[in-house]
Each structure stands twice: as structure tokens, then as C-alpha cells.
Amino acid sequence: MGKMPLNLFQLNLEKIPGFDAMTAEDFSGATNEEKASMIETRPSVSYWKDAARRFRANKVSMAALILFLLIFLFSYLGPLFIPYNYADQYRNSSKLGPREFSAKEQLLQKAEDISDLFFATSLMPGSLTSLSRSTTYYFKTQGVTYSFYVEKAIGDSVLLFNRDAENKLTLIKEKDLGKDALDNAKTVEYSTEAIDTKAPNVVELKMLKRICPHFFGTDSAGRDLMARTMYGGRVSIAIGIIAALIVLIIGSIYGSVSGLAGGTVDFVMMRLVDIIYSVPDVLIVLLLQVVLKNPLQSWLDASPSNFARLMSNLGVGIISIFITFACLYWVGMSRIVRGQVLQLKQQEFVTAANALGVPGRRIVKRHLLPNCVGQLVIATCLQIPSAIFLESFLSFLGLGVSIPMTSLGSLCSDALDTITLYPYRLLAPGLILTLLVLSLNLVGDGIRDALDPRLKK
Amino acid sequence: MAGYILKRILVAFLTLLLIMTITFFLMNAVPGSPFLTEKSTPEMIARANAKYGLDKPLIVQLFNYIKNYLRGDMGTSLKMQEGTAVTKIIFQEGKFALSFKLGVCAVIVAVLIGVPLGCLAAYNRGRWVDSVLRVVTTLGVAVPSFVLCAVLLIFLGVRLQWVPVFSGSLDTWKAYVAPVIGLSFYPMCYVAKLTRTSMLDAIHQDYIRTARAKGLKTRFIIFKHALRNSMIPVITYLGPMTAGIVTGGFVVEQTFQIPGLGKYFISSILNRDYPIIMATTVVLAALVIIMNLVVDIAYKLVDPRISLTKGDR
Amino acid sequence: MENNTMKAAEKLLEVKDLKVSFYTPVGEVKAVDGISYDLKEHEVMGIVGESGSGKSVEAYSIIGLLQSPGKVIGGSIVFDGENVLEYDEEKMRQFRGNKVSMIFQNPMTCLNPVYTVGNQLMEALTCHNREIGRKEAWDRAVEMLKLVGINNAEKRMAQYPHEFSGGMRQRAMIAMALICSPKLLIADEPTTALDVTIQAQILELMKDIQKKTGMAIIFITHNLGVVAEICDRVSVMYAGQIVEQGSVQDIFYSPAHPYTRGLLRSMPRVDELEHERLIPIEGTPVDLLNPPAGCAFGPRCENCMKICLAHRPPLLDVGEDRHVSACWLHVKEMKEAQQE
């Protein structure tokens, strides 16, 4: 250590508070531990934890995430709670407004009010079509089995059970349904004698589920719009996620191959991307829809495999959407991945791995992918709403999913056909579609801000 | 510059040829003859095939098809208006003009309103104006155009009766209102968002710091130094925006019953009238490609860094 | 170098107990924590320190360019007898670029790519002097370009920044900064982003111009070699505080603060006959979110004492010509001298 050429007389003692009180101990050397203890180490937070913290701190994205989860639950768990199905057409229930009941349903509701239990034949899905003469019917309630048989076959009707009504069931025939139906009702006697419930001619009557209003109304064919909206939501969300995954997989493979290979291969691969990029995509999507529809249908009809059956449940429209995504929409993703790969290729750890003779596949897996995962997550998240958008657009034009399967887009399209008469039909699917895309956009933005705070403005 | 433009035109032309080829092969991949109806006998199909040259090898057909298109012959409609020349349907019956007028209006509205809104938001960053605009634009890019169109139709057309419910052939200025809003709302919101982001981005650049250090007025800095730089991403978006407006036109024309090219294209798809599908695709694709070309050249005027003589990037 | 400073020069700039904080979501960062210094007219002051030591923040607060969330929270900056911290927005604007101007680190990004160099030069002049005509402004800009050694100045005026090389752009930046003949130029690491040969040229140019115009310069850098080239006085900053200040001679030949000594030892010197080993300063720069209670340099200091752990050392005069240093070692020596 060099000499300190200090002119001690220059030191101004008044500037130093408590100079006289200082002891030699104060000026003894500090140990390394003491020095280290001066620095309060902040707990080091991992990248992902830090990102998660930032995401949680972002109120808008959290609200959007909750909104998305609500729509998700509505679509996937909702159908468990309503007795209607997306495909079933309920007789006499067509063109109902929101929360409305058909005349029959109103009567059933009245019956529900005045009786302890009630049964209906064929009015509701899953009920009997008629009661026949040679069969004993029974039903159980509170541990007691009641049985009865009818003298004459009875067609569509409602049977009311009242504990106080002295062994009699009230019977209302369908054709009598109306204002005074209850006054004109006939009765059927029942007994509480033990019967062999396993005998071939004995049939159990199931109590009807509670009458559920059509919250969103019904369409012109008598399908419940709420059930359809739920299933439409399912389809839209599933299409968005699957399409984004397809894009992710194809895009990352293509992009990383192009970026890693470099040179002529990269040049050729990227020119292909440029060309696909400059082709107006929606036009080609529409053409593909047209072209794929027939061959796909015939392939699905012909193929006996489970896969094909699953596919045909989805419908040709949806599959061709996936195919178009696989053909056209990966280019953006492949550009992102290639950019990341090229950037990372320059970095030391990759050069080091290369110098050590680590095989290319391993470099991709261990070094490149973990490093561009952030970008991939962001791009994938923002791909989902755009896939939903495209699907709804195609469905709206009548080129997406086909009846009776539905999606939010095709529901809007249906609603638009009768928009001047029944404007409310657009409300639920339109709103849910908008909120779905909105929430996914905001969640994607939130993830981007959380993963890459530099991008935040 | 001239060399670049020439090269760029060549690339655009090649892209168009590629699209024509894709369309051709896609249409040929559809099983069955386009003349296959319940009544047609094998002889009739063979005769029709011979008449339209469909009995020749595919590559010859492709060559003929491109040659015909270059001569301005786009074939004749097979189903929708049987026997009428496609060029006549598209161009002479006003379909193209109708869609074109609507699209141009939408582009103008989107840019002339979107850019100022974005500037306003960036200038008032963090204040209520910014918040309101942010909510509107975020919603705007999430509402599907058909939902928006339906809402416009109900409110402006049915409830308030300010504009005709169905716009028809756009005979009065009022007929334009709803379709133009419906068509331009998404791009307008997108442009506003883009302008705001790139404006804020530009404000954080070093050259803005230099400008401030020089003692320029804030307003002057924003309008001279930040705006021009932040217009670069907006100009880039004009290409995709044209494509978006072309496809948005399908929805808008469908909703407001405007007998334009978009509506006709969709019905030709639903009716599988192949010559019309092919011709419309090519015309619309050409429109988008030309717009991309214009955008690339407009770029140079705004950003001198892009050296147009060396490559396209 | 110091022989061209006029001894009786007036105080041009007086910074007193300046405090600047950044209010970030994770807490307050005291980027500048109570620094004071004077700058005389025609004087060239070097501010040296590691990145993050607050040297640029301090300079930005003089010229009113602090970006939010940065905020001056205390002290005063008196320029030519006026406290610039009290200026309103318009007054500050007229002050910037006119009386004090600034050049920056990265000349590649500091010029607006979409306007010609001439345009950007002229607007620096016209925004402070509205009467100036276009022709006059053009001539003045050409003159400035010539002054900073740009050949073919007329032709260069019409060119865009991307047609300039890095060194040329920095020259253009200097021309732009000088166009209103300011009294003080703040140079924020003007040579850091340039090639070594270009660095030397720019330094030579700045020295030359300083001699010609006689303006004062605050030269911010982390490179002590550059300081030796151009400065009269040097302030060494660490963790938002000035730890040592003095003339170039004092700092280079009789450094008082362990940090300054550490900096000098980590700097390669060509003039030494024997090749001394370069010794880096151990440890990492201080975390400004959580600064240590005592001396900020304590944890990295090889002479660290018990008192350093708890108390911040005061700035003490340690020599002639305003040579000050903030270290308990001086107090220790004094104590020992007293006891003898």
C-alpha cells in the first residue's frame, strides 16, 4: 500500500462530531464477517417467482384471469347444473325469451308447487313416452315404495303425487293442459303393497328434475340457448388452446431448425415464411375450408378408428380450422423462435457448449428452449384469442362448426338471422365471446409485462 | 429507389402467381367435377370438361388459367349466374366498386381518428383521458366485428332509426354510417393502441433526450421528433389492416345486406361456384398485395434509414 | 493542465447538498445522496465513478432532465447566481441548451434518425433565438460543423445521421451542444461508446474547443485515463456521494481515499516503466436500495475499521487546493498524531 501523503494540520476538527470520544477500538480493523454483515442481502428471487409476483401485483391482469376462469367454469361445469343439452330440441319451447317458460313448463311449475312429487311423460327429456296397460309402475319416496298400474294406456301426461290425496295420483293429459287443467284432472289409484321391483314388467318412475327456466331463451328449433352458449364456450376455448398449441409446436420446431441450421437452409426456410406471411391468410383459410370439408367428411365416415370417431364428434369444420392453423399461422411463431435462437446462439454459454462438443439436439433442449420460454409463453397466450377470433369469424360466415355442434361465433351468426325480432339472442354469446377475447388479451399482456418488465410502458 | 420499386413489384407479382397456383390446386383438389349435378350424365360431363379444357393435364390447365387471367378473362360462373363472365359480375355489376368505396372509407376513418386518439393518450399518459381511451381501445380489439355490427344495427337502425337498417347499395351518406363504423372500429382501436405504444416508446429514446437537452418545447418535441418516428409501426400495420378490412368486409356486407364483393364471395363459397371463388380470391389478394407494396414504398418516405437499394429488409 | 485555469475565476456552478431519489415500486433509491461541489468558470471538472454511482443522475438534475420516478428532494444548484431548481418549466427550457448544454454517451442513438443532421443542428439554435433567419442558422450550423472538424460541412448538413460514422455523430452532437455558445457543457461519458482511436480524437477536439471557447465542462466518465487527459479537477463518486475531490495532480499523485487508490490501481498505465499488476477492487457495487449504515464503501474496503461499520465518514480537507476526502482513516491518523 502506498504512503498516504496527508497534511494532517489541514484536517478540520470541528467537522468531526464526537472526535474526542473515539477510541482506538473504533479504529481497529473490522473482520470480514463484520464487513459482510454490513450488506443486507436481499433474498434472491427466481425469475419465475419474480414474474409471478409481478403478475399478481397487476390488478387488471388478475381481474382478467378471474374473468377468464369464470367463463371457463361456466362453459365446462355449467352444463352439469342445467337439465338441458345443446342438441336437444324441446317441443313447444321454441322462440322463448330469456327466463321464459313454455305453456307446459308453466303448468309443470304449477304442479310442482301444489304436489310433493310429480312425473311427466315425454314432456321432459328422459321421461316415459306413455304408460302402458300391462306394466306395473312404482316410485320410491322417503323409503316407501308406491306402485300402480293403469287400466288403459295413457299418452303424454303429468302425474302428480300428493301425500294427503288418499292413495290417488292426479293425472293431467297433455291435450287437457291449459288453464283449468288441474280442475279437470283425473286420478289413478296406487297401493303401498310390496312388489317385486326386479320383475320384468315392473318399471320405476323417476321424479322429474325441477323445472329450469331457459335463462337465455331458446332458439327457433327449441334448443336451450344457455346450454348452447355453454357448449359454444367450450368449443371456442378448446379451439383457441389447441390451435395455439399447434402453432407453438410447429412454429418452434421450424424456427429453431432454421435458426440453428443457419446459412442457405435458414435463407430458404425464411423465404418460405416470408411468402406465407404475405399471402392474405383469411382468403386461404376460407379456400381450405371449402376444399377440406368434403374429403374430411368422407374420410371420417369411412374410417372406423377411435381417433376418427372422436374427430367426427368435433365436426369437420373444427378439424379444418386446426389444419388451416397448422398450415398458415405458425409463421409468426417461427420468426420469434428463430430470432431468439439467433440471439442466443451468439451468447457464451452456447458457444461453450458447442466447443465442448455437446450435440445440437441437447443444446436446443438444455440451453435454447429454457431461454426463449418467456417469449414463447407470451406469443402462445396472445395466439389463443386470435384463434378464437378466427374460429368465430368462420363460424359466423357459416364455414366453421356445423349444427348441432355450436360455437360462440355460430351462435352469434344464428342470432343475427333474427336480430330484428329477437335481439336478446345475441347478448349472451356476443358478450361472452367479447369478454373471453378481452380477458385472454389482458392476461396475455399481463404475462408479457410480468415476464419482461422492460417491455412495459 | 427505382430499382427497388421494380424489384418489389416483381416480388408482389410472384406472390400473386403463387396465390393463383395455390387457389388452382386447392380447387382441383375438391373431389368430383364442378359440373356434377343430379341430372348430369357422363357424356354431358365429358362434353363440359372438353369445353372448359378440364380434360387436359393439370399443368396445362394451370398454364391456361394463368394465361387467361393475364388477358383479363376470369372464366364464367357455373352456378350462381350461370354463363355470365366472372369479370362482368365482379367489376361491371358494381360489386367491386361498392366494397372498395366502403373499404377506403374505413381505412381513412381508422387512420384519421386512430392516430390522433393514440397521440392524445400518449400525451396525457396516466391521466383520465388515457384511461378512458385505453378501456375503449382494449374493448375495441376484443369485440368481434359481427357483434359490433349487430349492436349498431339494433341501436342506430332499429331503435333510433337514424340510419337505414340495411344499407343496401349505399345510396345515401346515412347508409354508410353503420357499415363504416363496423368496419373501421377494430383497426381504429388498433391504430390508436399502436400509436400510443410507439409514441411512448419514441419518447423514451435517446434522441428525445437530446431534443430536450437542446431546450426544445415539449409540444414541439412530441410533434416533430416523436410523432414521425412513431408513425413507422403504424405504416407497417397498414398492410395487415387492408387484409383485415377486406375480410371484415365479408362480415359487414353480410350483416348490413350490402351486395358487395365480400358477400358475393361468401355465397360463392357456400354455393361452390369455383370460377367465382378463384377470381374473387385473386382480386382480393391482389388488392392486399398492392397495398403491401404501397406501404413498403411509403416506409422510405418516413424512415431514411431503410436503404431501399439493398435488399428488402 | 491546470495552468490554463484562471485563478481568480468566478464560481459558475455551486451544487450544495444535492439529493436525488428514485421512487421505485421496491423502495426509495437514493441515487445522489447529498453532494456538494463548486465549479469555476473555464474549469473542467471530471466526475468519476462506477456505473450506478449517481454521476449521470447528478448531471441530469443540473439540466432538468431527470425522468420520473427520479426527483430532486433536497439541496440547491446555483448557476450564475440563480437556483435552477426553482426554475419553472419554460425558464428551464430556455436555460437548457442555451447556457448549459449536454452531450451523451451513445452518439448512435442520440440523433433523430428521421431528420437531417443540419435540421437538428439548426433547431438547437432557432429554438432559443426566434429572430434568427434560416440562412443565418444554416451558416452558423455549417460553421459549427467545421469547428468540430467535419469536412464537407455543407454536404453533411443535408445527410441523415445513419450516413455518419460514430465519431462523426459525436462531433455533430458536440457541434449541436455548442451552437448557442453555452457557458457549461456537460459531457456524459462522451467517449465510452467509441473506438479507442476515435476516443482520442474526440478528447483532443474537446480540449481544443475548451481552449478556444473557454467554457466550463463537467466531464462524466468511469475512465480515469480520460480524466487525466482533459480535467483540471476531479470528483470521485461512490454510491451517490462524493468520496474524494481534488485537482488532477492530487487525485493521481496523492490519492487519499481507499476507493480512489483502488481505482488507480485497477487502471493500466503506459507510463510506468515496470509493469505493475492490475488489482481489481473486490466485491460488488453497493445496492442502493439497501445501502450499508456506515461507509458505503466499507464492505469492499481493505482498510475497513469498526467505526466504518456504523458511521458515515465526513468529508475532510486533506490537502491544499480544495482537496477533500471522506474516510475514517484520516481521522485515525489524526488521532494517532494527537496521541504522539
Residue A90 in any domain: the answer is no
Residue of C254, C292, C317 with shortest CB distance to A10: C317
Residue A41 in any domain: the answer is no
Instruction: Give the residue from chain A lying closest to B11, CA to CA.
Output: A275
The pLDDT value given to residue B269: 79
Residue A319 in any domain: the answer is yes
The residue-averaged pLDDT of A9-17 equals: 57
Residue A2 in any domain: the answer is no
Q: Judge whether residue A141 has pLDDT over 50.
A: yes
CB contact under 8 A, B144 and A441: no
Residue of B209, B220, B228 with shortest CB distance to C104: B209
Would you call A333 an interface residue with chain B, using a CB distance cutoff of 8 Å? no
> Please, are residues A451 and A377 in contact by the beta-carbon 8 Å criterion?
yes
pLDDT tens digits, C108-142: 788 888 888 888 888 888 888 888 888 888 888 89
Cell of B130: 388515457
Measured CA to CA, the distance from residue C75 to residue C19 in angstroms comes to: 6
CB burial of A279-292 (b: ≥16 within 10 Å; e: otherwise) equals: bbbbbbbbbbbbbb
Domain residues for the domain of A129 are 102-204
Q: A180-189, A382-391, C56-65, C219-228: which has the minimum mean pLDDT?
A: A180-189
Highest mean pLDDT among A305-314, A343-352, B76-85, C29-38: C29-38
A199 and A280 together in one domain: no
Would you call A454 an interface residue with chain B, using a CB distance cutoff of 8 Å? no
The residue-averaged pLDDT of B130-156 equals: 86
A271 and A414 together in one domain: yes
Domain C-terminal end among A169, A204, A239? A204
pLDDT tens digits, C143-161: 888 888 888 888 888 888 8
A393 and A309 together in one domain: yes
Q: Judge whether residue A66 has pLDDT over 90.
A: yes
Which residue, among B203, B214, B219, B225, would best test binding to C if mutated, counting the most C CBs under 10 Å from its CB?
Answer: B214
User: Which chain B residues are closer than 8 Å to C104 by Cβ?
Assistant: 206, 209-210, 213
Query: Cell numbers 398450415 label which residue?
Result: A327
The residue-averaged pLDDT of A373-398 equals: 83
Q: A65-79, A349-363, C196-210: which has the minimum mean pLDDT?
A: A349-363
Would you call A283 an interface residue with chain C, using a CB distance cutoff of 8 Å? no
Which C-chain residues 130-169 have CB contacts (< 8 A) with chain B?
Answer: 160, 162
> Please, are residues C189 and C221 in contact by the beta-carbon 8 Å criterion?
yes
Scanning chain C, the segments in alpha helix (DSSP H) are 55-63, 89-95, 117-126, 134-147, 153-157, 166-178, 196-213, 224-230, 248-253, 258-265, 306-310, 328-339
CA dist list (Å): B97 to B94, B100, B157, B254:
5, 5, 24, 16
> Please, are residues C70 and C302 in contact by the beta-carbon 8 Å criterion?
no
A229 and A182 together in one domain: no
Domain C-terminal end among A174, A204, A234? A204
Q: Judge whether residue C273 has pLDDT over 60.
A: no
* Helices A281-302, B227-255: inter-axial angle, 10-degree rounding: 50
Q: Please classify residue A50 by burial: count the beta carbons closer than 10 Å to its beta carbon, then call 0-12 exposed, 13-18 middle and 19+ buried.
A: middle
Residue A340 in any domain: the answer is yes
* Cα–Cα nearest to A205, from A141, A256, A137: A137
Would you call C222 an interface residue with chain A, using a CB distance cutoff of 8 Å? no
User: Which chain C residues are closer than 8 Å to A10 by Cβ?
Assistant: 317-320
**Edge-to-edge strand ranges of the sheet holding C233-238:** C100-103, C184-188, C216-221, C44-48, C233-238, C241-247, C323-325, C316-319
Query: How would residue A455 be classed by pLDDT, with cut points 50, 70 and 90?
Result: very low
CATH code, A433: 1.10.3720.10
Would you call C113 an interface residue with chain B, using a CB distance cutoff of 8 Å? yes
How far is A438 from chain B, CA to nearest CA, in Å?
Answer: 5
Measured CA to CA, the distance from residue A382 to residue B304 in angstroms comes to: 32
DSSP string for residues in C85-149: GG--HHHHHHHBTTTEEEE-S-TTTSS-TTS-HHHHHHHHHHTT-TT--HHHHHHHHHHHHHHTT
The residue-averaged pLDDT of A325-335 equals: 83
User: Which chain C residues are closer than 8 Å to B203 by Cβ?
Assistant: none
Which comes out higher in pLDDT, residue A125 or A114?
A114
Which residue, among B204, B210, B221, B302, would best test binding to C if mutated, counting the most C CBs under 10 Å from its CB?
Answer: B210
> Please, are residues A334 and A251 in contact by the beta-carbon 8 Å criterion?
yes
The pLDDT value given to residue C57: 86
Which three-class secondary structure state does DSSP give residue C27? strand
The residue-averaged pLDDT of B202-212 equals: 85
Which residue, among C334, C336, C338, C339, would best test binding to A if mutated, counting the most A CBs under 10 Å from its CB?
Answer: C334
Query: How would residue A67 be classed by pLDDT, with cut points 50, 70 and 90?
Result: very high
A389 and A449 together in one domain: yes
Residue A165 in any domain: the answer is yes
Residue A324 in any domain: the answer is yes
Q: Count interface pairs A-B at CB distance under 8 A.
A: 127
SS3 for chain A is CCCCCCCHHHCCHHHCCCCCCCCHHHHCECCHHHHHHHCCCCCCCCHHHHHHHHHHHCHHHHHHHHHHHHHHHHHHCHHHCCCCCCCCCCCCCCCCCCCECCHHHHHHHHHHHHCCEEEEECCCCCCECCECCCCEEEEEECCEEEEECCCCCECCEEEEECCCCCCEEEEEEHHHCCCCCCCCCEEEECECCCCCCCCCCEEECCCCCCCCCECCCECCCCCEHHHHHHHHHHHHHHHHHHHHHHHHHHHHHHHHHHHHHCHHHHHHHHHHHHHHHHCCHHHHHHHHHHHHHHHHHHHHHHCCCHHHHHHHHHCHHHHHHHHHHHHHCHHHHHHHHHHHHHHHHCCHHHHHHHHCCCCHHHHHHHHHHHHHHHHHHHHHHHHHHHHHHHHHHHHHCCCCCCCCCCCHHHHHHHHHHCCCCCCHHHHHHHHHHHHHHHHHHHHHHHHHHHHCHHHCC
CB contact under 8 A, B206 and C104: yes
The residue-averaged pLDDT of B36-41 equals: 56
The pLDDT value given to residue A206: 65
pLDDT tens digits, B48-89: 666 666 667 778 888 888 888 888 777 777 777 777 777 887
User: Which chain A residues are closer than 8 Å to B243 by Cβ?
Assistant: 280-282
A163 and A259 together in one domain: no
Measured CA to CA, the distance from residue B220 to residue C230 in angstroms comes to: 36
> Please, are residues B199 and B223 in contact by the beta-carbon 8 Å criterion?
no
CB contact under 8 A, C97 and B214: yes
Q: Count interface pairs A-C at CB distance under 8 A.
A: 96
User: Which chain A residues are closer than 8 Å to B269 by Cβ?
Assistant: 286, 289-290, 397, 399
A297 and A181 together in one domain: no
Which A-chain residues 408-427 have CB contacts (< 8 A) with chain B?
Answer: 409, 412-413, 415-416, 419-420, 423, 426
B160-165, Cβ contacts within 8 angstroms, sequence gap of 24 or more: B165/A420
Find chains touching chain B: ≥3 CB pairs under 8 Å.
Answer: A, C
Q: Judge whether residue A267 has pLDDT over 50.
A: yes
How far is C249 from chain A, CA to nearest CA, in Å?
Answer: 13
CB contact under 8 A, C110 and B216: no
A198 and A264 together in one domain: no
Q: Judge whether residue B113 has pLDDT over 90.
A: yes
Which comes out higher in pLDDT, residue A34 or A136?
A136
Instruction: Give the residue from chain C lying closest to A23, CA to CA.
Output: C335
How far is B97 from chain A, CA to nearest CA, in Å?
Answer: 19
Highest mean pLDDT among A88-97, A139-148, C149-158: C149-158
Domain C-terminal end among A150, A173, A204? A204
A337 and A424 together in one domain: yes
Measured CA to CA, the distance from residue B10 to residue B13 in angstroms comes to: 5
Instruction: Give the residue from chain C lying closest to B228, CA to CA.
Output: C114
The number of distinct structural domains making up chain A is 2
The pLDDT value given to residue B192: 92
A261 and A141 together in one domain: no
By DSSP bridging, strand A136-141 and strand A202-204 are parallel
> How are the residues of chain B apportioned to helix, strand and coil, as percentages rounded to the nearest 5?
75, 0, 25
Q: A22-36, A51-65, A111-125, B133-147: which has the minimum mean pLDDT?
A: A111-125
CB contact under 8 A, C111 and B220: no
A200 and A232 together in one domain: no
How far is C166 from chain A, CA to nearest CA, in Å?
Answer: 24
Q: Judge whether residue B23 has pLDDT over 70.
A: yes
CA dist list (Å): C60 to B33, C140, C175, C182:
76, 27, 20, 16
A287 and A373 together in one domain: yes
The residue-averaged pLDDT of C8-36 equals: 81
- pLDDT over 70, % of chain C: 93
- pLDDT over 90, % of chain A: 2
CB contact under 8 A, B302 and C114: yes
* Cα–Cα nearest to C175, from C142, C197, C135, C210: C142
User: Which chain B residues are closer than 8 Å to C110 by Cβ?
Assistant: 206-207, 209-210
The pLDDT value given to residue B141: 86
Query: Cell numbers 447538498 label which residue?
Result: C17
Which A-chain residues 266-285 have CB contacts (< 8 A) with chain B?
Answer: 275, 278-284
Which residue, among C260, C297, C305, C320, would best test binding to A if mutated, counting the most A CBs under 10 Å from its CB?
Answer: C305
Q: Judge whether residue A454 has pLDDT over 60.
A: no
pLDDT tens digits, C308-327: 777 888 888 887 778 888 88
Query: How would residue B114 be classed by pLDDT, with cut points 50, 70 and 90?
Result: very high
How far is C74 from chain B, CA to nearest CA, in Å?
Answer: 22
Instruction: Give the residue from chain C lying closest to A34, CA to CA.
Output: C309
Q: Judge whether residue A332 has pLDDT over 50.
A: yes
How far is A276 from chain B, CA to nearest CA, in Å?
Answer: 9
pLDDT tens digits, A70-84: 999 988 887 777 767
Cell of A343: 440471439
* Cα–Cα nearest to B110, from B198, B170, B190, B29: B190
Residue A286 in any domain: the answer is yes
